[in-house]
């Protein structure tokens, strides 16, 4: 019929940040523009203008707090902490007073003033050599957009435009946009901007929403209603795909579904290599609600129970009894499998109610984790007492985060002994020999593992921070993220050193960072002698599949090759080659 034609297929290549194959119609989100029309105001209008500004700040603060709470409930505190920097911006009195002072001086409405002040601050920070500070420029711009929207009485919720099932196409999505995704409607998303290390990319993967970013011009090429085929693993977007393309991907999606079904059959099978070497798989959890899925995905026990969720987003600090009930629930749900409870890993960027913010320039190198707890025994001791009380179930273990020297371990153990004496006098039952461990996530701790070893029962390698601190790389900073290399020789040698020290002292070592959840690196870790792998429950099936198809003797040979390699790329390649040989199906799901 005249006027009808079949649209040609267009193929775009971007960055695959969250795997999955999805076919759906596109919904193009309108790109929002800043509205900053300037108007002159009378002196008598200044108080009203300042009141408008303050009300917009309050509304923005509440919105960010609400988003942060939602993210914590769905994805946990690690992802919710993305919004800590946004809160710092909206509460920054220097920024606020600068805007107010200019409104009074120039006698103009607040919108253009705030935009000018914001741009000045953001431009200044973006030019800083310090990567942490330069990254704050984006936070200032994001918060400014939200304040502007509140001043105009508008919403920044781009997801409110979604009315039916679709693939979202946008110029960019902020972390708050991603956090508000309704997974029943948004089947995948693609964007012009973005990187593999952006907060939006990290959250998409955690939400298990297929996504491709960094496509540059997808919003210019796609129209709402176009049929899209998304390959989130390979970073491919097919616009109006051909029937042949659809059939090829239909078969591939079916194959991936069969792989998932096969992985699910491993749930109750032991994580044991072909030559009989057992590598326990435990779970990392952030919320009590996750306890029920630990066993469902094939893990046994908890290798990392993050306790920060009890202290954030609440009006009052949890007392000893509230903490005890939470830890007891975790212990009982997993018994007799182990439950490793990490003491508070809070810092100046993420503080509980009642604690003032010292405005540290780099809170990740500041007063946080074990340092904060030791300087605030009124915060630390109730947690230690609650963990000890829960240890009446002898599967409970305790772990100190971000240890950098032996004195911190000794001081923490002194407080722990004080709590033991108090509980004994009060008649409480607890495990007098509760296993004590430390996170090894600071290079100094790894290098003096032999000095720390006599004071603990085990080590847990937090590879995310260990890599960042060793390489001086913020993996969330796209300018340097390419330097974040788990297979760098410095990282492999540190892991090798810690494991050898632990075994020499009769201890065991677990890896609870992202290295443990990467199936390509699992043989390397096992070959280096790591005794346990702790991963998010969703990653357990793939990790177990690799272990069960691996020969321990082969893993040792792989690790020996890695230890004499000269480049991170070579180590990554030999690891990849082994997985391609023994378990190619996991590559199908992750590449």
Cβ burial of 288 (10 Å; 0-12, 13-18, 19+) is middle
Alpha helices (H) along 216-369: 218-221, 243-264, 291-294, 320-334
Asked if 547 and 279 count as a contact pair (C-beta separation under 8 A), the reply is yes
Burial class (CB in 10 A: 0-12, 13-18, 19+), 153: exposed
Which 8-state DSSP code applies to residue 31? P
Strand, helix or coil at 273?
Answer: coil
The secondary structure of 66-107 as a DSSP string is HHHHHHHHHH-HHHHGGGHHHHHHHT-HHHHHHHHHHHHHHT
**CA 341 to chain centroid:** 18
φ, ψ at 5 (rounded to 5°): -155, 160
Q: Which one of the listed residues 166, 373, 510, 512 is annotated catalytic?
A: 512
Radius of gyration of the chain (CA): 26
- Inter-CA distances, 543 with 199, 242, 281, 296, 572, Å: 25, 36, 8, 14, 17
The separation between the first and the last C-alpha atoms of the chain, rounded to the nearest angstrom, is 42
* Rounded distance between C-alpha atoms, residue 184 and residue 166, angstroms: 9
- Residue tagged active-site, from 86, 199, 419, 488: 199
Q: Residue 574 in 3-state DSSP?
A: helix
* 199 catalytic residue (yes or no): yes
User: Do you find a cis peptide bond into 336, omega within 30 degrees of 0?
Assistant: yes
What's the distance, CA 386 to chain centroid?
27
Told to judge if 512 belongs to the known catalytic residues of this protein, a careful annotator would answer yes
Instruction: Please give the Cα distance from 530 to 516 (Å, whole number).
Output: 10
**Residue 374 to residue 371: CA distance in whole angstroms:** 5
What is the set of active-site residues?
199, 512
């Amino acid at each position: 019929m005249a006027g009808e034609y079949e649209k040609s297929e267009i193929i775009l290549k971007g960055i695959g940040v969250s795997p999955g194959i999805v076919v759906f119609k596109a919904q193009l989100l309108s790109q929002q523009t800043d509205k900053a029309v300037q108007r002159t105001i009378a002196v008598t209008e200044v108080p009203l203008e300042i009141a408008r500004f303050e009300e917009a700040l309050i509304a923005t603060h509440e919105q960010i707090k609400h988003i942060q709470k939602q993210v914590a409930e769905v994805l946990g505190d690690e992802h919710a902490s993305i919004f800590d920097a946004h809160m710092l911006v909206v509460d920054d009195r220097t920024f606020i007073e600068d805007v107010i002072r200019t409104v009074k001086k120039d006698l103009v409405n607040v919108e253009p003033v705030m935009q000018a002040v914001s741009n000045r601050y953001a431009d200044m920070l973006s030019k800083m050599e310090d990567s942490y500070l330069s990254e704050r420029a984006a936070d200032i711009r994001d918060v400014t957009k939200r304040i502007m929207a509140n001043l105009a009485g508008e919403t920044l919720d781009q997801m409110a435009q979604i009315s039916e099932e679709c693939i979202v196409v946008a110029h960019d999505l902020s972390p708050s946009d991603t956090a508000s995704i309704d997974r029943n409607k948004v089947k995948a998303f693609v964007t012009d901007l973005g990187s593999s290390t952006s907060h939006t990319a990290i959250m998409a993967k955690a939400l298990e929403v297929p996504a491709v970013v960094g496509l540059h011009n997808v919003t210019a090429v796609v129209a709402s209603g176009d049929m899209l085929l998304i390959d989130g693993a390979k970073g491919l977007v097919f616009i109006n795909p051909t029937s042949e393309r659809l059939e090829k991907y239909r078969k591939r999606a079916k194959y991936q579904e069969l792989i998932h079904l096969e992985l699910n059959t491993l749930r109750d099978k032991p994580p044991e290599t072909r030559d009989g070497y057992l590598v326990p798989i435990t779970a990392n959890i952030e919320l009590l609600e996750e306890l029920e899925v630990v066993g469902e995905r094939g893990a046994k026990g908890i290798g990392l129970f993050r306790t920060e969720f009890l202290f954030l987003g609440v009006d009052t600090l949890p007392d000893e009894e509230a903490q005890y009930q939470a830890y007891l629930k975790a212990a009982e749900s997993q018994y007799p499998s182990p439950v490793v409870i990490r003491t508070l890993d809070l810092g100046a960027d993420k503080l509980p109610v009642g604690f003032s913010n010292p405005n540290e320039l780099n809170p990740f190198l500041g007063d946080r984790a074990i340092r904060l707890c030791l300087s605030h025994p009124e915060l630390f001791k109730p947690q230690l007492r609650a963990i000890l009380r829960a240890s009446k179930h002898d599967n409970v273990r305790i772990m100190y985060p971000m240890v950098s020297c032996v004195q911190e371990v000794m001081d923490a153990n002194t407080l722990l002994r004080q709590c033991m004496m108090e509980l004994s006098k009060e008649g409480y039952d607890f495990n007098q020999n509760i296993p004590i461990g430390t996170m090894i996530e600071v290079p100094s701790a790894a290098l003096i593992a032999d000095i720390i070893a006599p004071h603990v029962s085990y080590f847990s390698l937090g590879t995310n921070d260990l890599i960042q601190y060793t390489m001086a790389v913020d993996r969330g900073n796209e300018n340097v993220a390419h330097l974040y290399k788990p297979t760098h020789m410095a990282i492999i040698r540190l892991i090798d050193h810690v494991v050898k020290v632990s075994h020499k002292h009769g201890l065991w070592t677990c890896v609870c960072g992202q290295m443990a959840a990467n199936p390509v690196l699992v043989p390397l870790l096992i070959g280096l002698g790591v005794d346990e792998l702790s991963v998010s429950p969703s990653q357990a099936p793939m990790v177990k599949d690799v272990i069960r198809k691996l020969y321990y003797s082969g893993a040792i040979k792989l690790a020996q090759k890695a230890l004499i390699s000269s480049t991170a790329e070579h180590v990554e390649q030999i690891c990849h080659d082994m997985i391609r040989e023994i378990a190619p199906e996991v590559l199908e799901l992750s590449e």
